[in-house]
Amino acid sequence: MAKQISWTNQAKADRISILDFYRRRNKSTSYSKKLNRIFIHEIEIISQHPEIGKRSNSTNVRVKISGNYYLIYMIEGDTIYILRIWDTRQNPIKLNKNWRPK
């Protein structure tokens, strides 16, 4: 079990962008709130079971699939870095694979 969860600036921006998209599209915050609760729940699962995600080609980087989203994270010691929240319906070319936490 990890002692600390740390969100990268990119992961924070991803989450805000996704939630804001649905808020604007639906003209309501209810779906955005529901989606945010799902993200939080998935991060809790990752913190309890860090090895649950599928291994990627990058060292220590894993991917937890949640519906249409990939939660991309890195395990370093007792810290889990949330690197990205990626909507899988996007063009994969847009996904920057420079996974180092900033």
Residue 1 confidence (pLDDT) above 70? no
Give the dihedral sign, CA 90/93/94/96: positive
At 56, which CATH number? 3.30.2310.20
pLDDT value, residue 99: 55
State how far the Cα of 87 lies from the Cα of 6, in Å rounded to an integer. 20
Q: Is 100 among the domain residues?
A: no
Read off the pTM: 0.86
Q: Which domain holds residue 72?
A: 4-92
Number of domains, the chain: 1
pLDDT value, residue 89: 87
Residue 98 confidence (pLDDT) above 80? no
Helix or strand (DSSP H, E) at 14 = helix 9-26
> Each residue of 38-90: pLDDT tens digit?
999 999 999 999 999 999 888 889 999 999 999 999 999 899 999 999 998 87
